[in-house]
Chains A and B, each alone.
Chain A
């Protein structure tokens, strides 16, 4: 069965500090991994996906199939990064059937 875990419910860091949001998954096939973000009073939106290997707002994430992880990283956190972050998985065979992790609330302190 597909499953996504995010071990931290809340992560607090100071502005300018590095940040890493952890995501682990279980899936028997070839997964596609995503990070979604929800800023306060805004809609859930796509932050990045592993297949495009891009950096958005300074965030990067590398898919590690050996460790079944897709951790989100940013070298220098900004206050505007404070938000709820969700890791999500989709199998290529599953259309838009996404499995979301429970989410991590990132709080960047001044």
Chain B
């Protein structure tokens, strides 16, 4: 089975712009979670989508949003980018929601905000 894929792998944007990141889960997986990873804050949970519905949300401002499509692919959007949004954004998929389902991580999208 192909693993979780994320596109693009690298992205450079300027402050005030918006960005959309994409995540394709492992075939058959219906839950997709997003994380932000920075040297200062480590790995932080953004949100989880399951069956096209946001199931959980972390403590991030409303500029961070996401959605999931009927084929379980997910997108994450960040509007009005700030310098502090520079990070590695990781996507993880699992068969279903619930912590007993193993998460499989993608390679990440490295976002740099100038």
Per the 8 Å Cβ criterion, residues 23-61 of A in contact with B are 32, 43-46, 51
- Which of B90, B99, B105, B107 sits near A95, CB closer than 8 Å? B99
Contact of A97 among B56, B90, B102 (CB under 8 A): B56
Beyond A96-B56, A96-B92, whether A44 also contacts B105 by CB under 8 A is yes
* Chain B interface, number of residues (Cβ within 8 angstroms): 28
Range class of the A interface residue count: 20 to 34
Binds A, one of B9-17, B42-50, B69-77: B42-50
Residue-wise interface mask of B (20-41) relative to A, using a CB-CB cutoff of 8 A (1 in contact, 0 not): 0000000000010101000000
CB distance from A30 to the nearest CB of B (A): 11
Tell me which of B31, B55, B100, B103 contacts A98 (CB under 8 A): B103
Q: Summarize B's interface: helix, strand, loop or mixed.
A: strand
From the candidates A45, A51, A92, A101, name the one contacting B42 in the complex (CB within 8 A).
A101
Chain A facing B: main interface SS: mixed
Q: Which of A32, A46, A95, A96 lies at the interface centre, i.e. has the most chain B CB atoms within 10 A of its CB?
A: A96
* A99-B107 contact, Cβ under 8 Å, with A51-B100, A92-B99: no
Contact B90 A96 (CB under 8 A): no
* Cα separation A110 to B2 with both chains bound (whole Å): 35
Residues of B within 8 A of A98 (CB): 33, 35, 45, 99, 103
Residues of B with Cβ closer than 8 Å to A?
A: 3-4, 31, 33, 35, 42-45, 48, 50, 55-56, 58, 90, 92, 94, 97-107
Binding site for B on A (CB under 8 A): 32, 43-46, 51, 86, 90-92, 94-103
